[in-house]
Amino acid sequence: MKYKKPLLIVGNGARDMDLDIQMPFLYTWGIKDKYFNHKWAKGDFGITGSPNGNKLIKEADYIIMIGTRMDTHQVPDWDKFAPQAYKEAYCLEFPHKVDKMLVRIPELKGPAWCKRSLENKTDTPIYRWVDKLSKQADKDDIIIPDMGQTGCIVFQRWGLKEGQRLFNGMNHSPMGYSLPGAIGATLATGRRVISIVGDGSLMMNVQDLQTISELNLPINIFVVKNGGYGMIKQTQKDWKEFLDQGVACNFKVPSIKKLAKAFNLKYTNKLSNEPSIYGVTFEDTTISPKWKYGNEL
Ligand SMILES: Cc1ncc(C[n+]2csc(CCOP(=O)(O)OP(=O)(O)O)c2C)c(N)n1
Ligand SMILES: [Mg+2]
């Protein structure tokens, strides 16, 4: 093969395909739970992805994309996306082309030209807390982060165990997704759900606590309190022209302990099969790394 540094990128569109991958590859967050522990996986990439993944994209000489629309979260600027590489993208709406491609994967059987390094090394209290929680989780758990900094940090840092599912409303990014998502996920599967919700997102669908309580669902909710819309504040800070506009982003939410009592939920940070809720406060919930508009990834 004339290429020395081939790289495959797999997205959630390929979830139902039985890919026999034997070459270095990156995954999108949509399919991170399926491939996190794969032998050839080199990590995630994109504007909040791993530095290692973004570095490999700059080094590869041949990039094959499958089952991913490579949206703005992955590629903020197409002109700067791997200009050195020959690129092929496969759309799953054309299965015969995908079949041909799959036949070629063994032929691409890769030189192991690149390493995986720890995806995210950020050492702040919220990242350490996510680490710790992910270690306590079971392999059958479903993890549904909400949006904002909280959701993003969980996607960056959750140490996935084989069998776990990790998802949210992805790039539609609907605040308030986690609680109704958790109800649907546990009713459909009978599995326990760990719901990790920002204080702003909680208030979008707080009424769902009543459903969780009444149906006695195995959902453990963690509310990250950071005094408002952290993600918006970070974006406004990064995009300097918006500086000082974020007044409406600062607000308080009711005591989570009192909410637990009002909705008849256990107030605990221990994982269990009973419905529970717990509030945890962090001063600094800055996402890192996060691409700054106009800069190199
Ligand atoms: C329904 C809806 N409204 C607005 C937004 C834009 N938005 C994205 S993140 C965010 C702030 C989220 O705040 P919070 O849930 O407290 O999470 P944090 O960023 O503070 O961790 C907002 C307003 C959105 N994604 N969805
Ligand atoms: Mg918040």
Position 99 scores a pLDDT of 67
Structure confidence at residue 260 (pLDDT): 98
Render pLDDT for 185-215 as a digit per residue (tens, 0 to 9): 999 999 999 999 999 999 999 999 999 999 9
Question: What CATH class has 6-101?
Answer: alpha beta
- Residue 151 CA: which ligand is closest? 1
- Give the class (CATH, top level) of 125-281: alpha beta
Single-letter amino acid, residue 172 = H
Q: Select from 229, 245, 247 the residue to mutate for testing ligand 1; criterion: most ligand atoms less than 8 Å from CB.
A: 229
For a mutational test of ligand 1's pocket, the pick from 175, 256, 285, 288, i.e. the residue with the most ligand atoms closer than 8 A to its C-beta, is 175
Beta strands in the chain (DSSP E): 6-10, 25-27, 62-66, 86-90, 142-145, 165-166, 193-198, 219-225, 266-267, 276-281
Using a 6 Å CB cutoff, which residues line ligand 1?
A: 146-150, 173-175, 198-201, 224, 226, 229-232, 285
Q: Which ligand ends up closest to the CA of 231? A: 1
Q: How many Å lie between the centroid of ligand 2 and the Cα of residue 229?
A: 5
Listed by start position, the domains of the chain span: 6-101, 125-281
Identify whether the C-beta of residue 201 lies closer than 8 Å to the C-beta of residue 152: no
Residues with pLDDT less than 50, the chain: none
CA of 77 to the centre of ligand 1 (A): 24
Atom 9 in ligand 1: which residue has the minimum CA distance?
148
Q: Are the folds of 6-101 and 125-281 the same? A: yes
Tens-digit pLDDT profile for residues 216-262: 999 999 999 999 999 999 988 887 766 666 667 899 999 999 999 99
What pLDDT is stored for residue 188 in this prediction?
98
Do residues 195 and 182 touch, judged by C-beta distance below 8 A?
yes
Q: Provide the sign of the torsion angle of the four alpha carbons 281, 228, 208, 180, taken in this order.
A: negative
Which atom of ligand 1 approaches the CA of 173 most closely? 25
Which tokens belong to 11?
């997205």
- pTM reported for the whole predicted model: 0.95
